[in-house]
Amino acid sequence: MDRLHHKAFPKQSEALATILELHGTLKSALCLNCRKLHDRDEFQDALSDLNPDWKEYADLLEQTGKEPRQNPDGDVELQNRSYDTFKVPDCLSCGSGPMKPAVVFFGENISPAVKETSKRLAESASQLLIVGSSLATYSAFRIVKAVHEQGKDVCLLNVGPSRGDPLVTSGLRLETPCLPVLVAVAQRLAQRSDQPADPVLQKLLTSGIIKEVDTIGKYPASS
């Protein structure tokens, strides 16, 4: 949802052609009138221009390290703040709106185009690997169900129960944290002598911060 997966590609065009964001992305803003997508950074700049007091407040939170915890859907809960004077920019294309993050919220449906693409990918896949998902949403579970009904192998790597457990191929249900498995796979790929060194993979393996989680109860549920 935050375009993290796209960083594994040297070119953004390759990422967009390869990755299907089933529930959208917070990197874009969507006009509910003309359905035009806008770059989230540009929309954020327009928000700041219309709401200088809020921009000052956000900068202060960032500078003092007191930014509120962000939920998986991008929402945050702010205490003792009034939204009465908050202004939302009109669509930069049609001049109307309203605008919203280009994500599928709870209770909404994925677009017909995305649904059709997910169906096509399921039909063309030889097998399916699910990593770190409870498959709580039916739009994700539908893909697993389609692959299973086609008689193809389904492998699930996840801590805790998943809606897709009954559909997993025997012996391919792995109850283990995703992080060490994915890191080990990436390291194996980076060490292959029959392939040229991948600078993007090397950068991903040597940058960022890895935080270990001690107990199963601390893992957030995902969909």
Q: What is the pLDDT of residue 217?
A: 45
Enter the tokens of residue 34.
Answer: 């003309």
Enter the tokens of residue 206.
Answer: 């040597």
Contacts of 72 (CB under 8 A, 6+ apart): 1, 220, 222
Residue 89 to residue 4: CA distance in whole angstroms: 27
Residue 91 to residue 99: CA distance in whole angstroms: 7
In percent, how much of the chain has pLDDT > 70?
91
Asked whether residue 146 carries a pLDDT value surpassing 60, the answer given is yes
Mapping DSSP to helix (H, G, I), strand (E, B) and coil, where does residue 40 land? helix
Q: Which helix (H) or strand (E) holds 28?
A: strand 24-31
Query: Which of the residues are catalytic?
Result: 23
Closest by CA position to 29, among listed 119, 101, 126: 101
Residue 199 to residue 80: CA distance in whole angstroms: 47
Mean pLDDT, rounded, for 155-176: 94
Asked whether residue 213 carries a pLDDT value surpassing 60, the answer given is no
Q: What is the pLDDT of residue 223?
A: 38
Q: How confident is the model at residue 84 (pLDDT cuts 50, 70, 90)?
A: confident
Closest by CA position to 32, among listed 139, 137, 118, 108: 108
Q: What is the pLDDT of residue 221?
A: 42
Domain boundaries, the chain: 24-103, 111-218
Domain 24-103 classified CATH 3.30.1600?
yes
The mean predicted confidence, pLDDT, of the chain is 85
Q: Which helix (H) or strand (E) holds 117?
A: helix 112-124
Q: What is the pLDDT of residue 215?
A: 46
Which CATH code fits 111-218? 3.40.50.1220
